[in-house]
């Protein structure tokens, strides 16, 4: 297992066209991707295969695994217009998937956005880039995170 001093990232329900490997992995020591075998090819092509694991299977089952170490960043980029982003973000409030001070980023089309009625995760920022919206969620004070919009900084070098 990787040291907890190094950030851990997961990207459940990603598709190859949604991946921005270098941006997501550069500041991270290790990442888990839940998706297709083509992700392995992309990781090998970018030279990042040694810093990531590709898990085939259901993303929802993966996030419920009791042996998961907490993630510092959960990047949600599911197929659009199916409500899967909300179905992925809601359960992240439960259990210990997110590390203290961790961040959930959901990549969606702006038309898909809806208030989720979350209790321990709070929407801290939203950013639009053309037809893409990024929604940033951090833990509330009760769960060891920040509360309020604009408290989250994300390094996307």
In this structure, is residue 91 part of a structural domain? yes
Residue 136 lies in a domain: yes
Strands (DSSP E) found in 16-79: 30-34, 52-55, 71-76
* Domain extent at residue 130: 8-143
- Does residue 58 belong to any structural domain of this protein? yes
pLDDT band, residue 147 (cuts 50/70/90): very low
Q: With respect to residue 93, please indicate whether it lies within any of the assigned structural domains.
A: yes
At 52-88, the pLDDT tens digits run 888 888 888 888 888 888 888 898 988 888 888 999 8
Query: Is residue 7 scored above 60 in pLDDT?
Result: no
144 burial level (CB within 10 Å; 0-12, 13-18, 19+): middle
Q: What is the pLDDT of residues 18-43, one digit of tens each?
A: 444 444 445 556 778 887 777 888 88
**What is the domain-level CATH number for residue 29?**
3.40.50.150
CA angle, 112 then 76 then 22, to 5°: 125
């Amino acid at each position: 297992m990787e040291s907890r001093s190094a950030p851990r990232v997961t990207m459940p329900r990603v598709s190859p066209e949604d991946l921005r490997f270098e941006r997501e992995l550069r500041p991270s020591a290790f990442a888990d991707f839940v998706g297709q075998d083509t992700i392995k090819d992309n990781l090998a092509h970018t030279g990042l295969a040694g810093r990531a694991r590709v898990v085939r299977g259901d993303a929802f089952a993966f996030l419920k695994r009791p042996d998961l170490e907490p993630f510092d960043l959960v990047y949600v980029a599911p197929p659009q217009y199916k409500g899967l982003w909300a179905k992925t973000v809601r359960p992240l409030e439960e259990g210990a998937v997110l590390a203290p001070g961790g961040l959930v980023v959901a990549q969606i089309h702006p038309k898909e956005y809806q208030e989720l009625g979350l209790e321990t995760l709070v929407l801290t920022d939203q950013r639009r880039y053309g037809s893409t919206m990024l929604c940033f969620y951090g833990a509330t004070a009760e769960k060891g995170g920040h509360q309020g919009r604009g408290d989250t900084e994300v390094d996307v070098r």
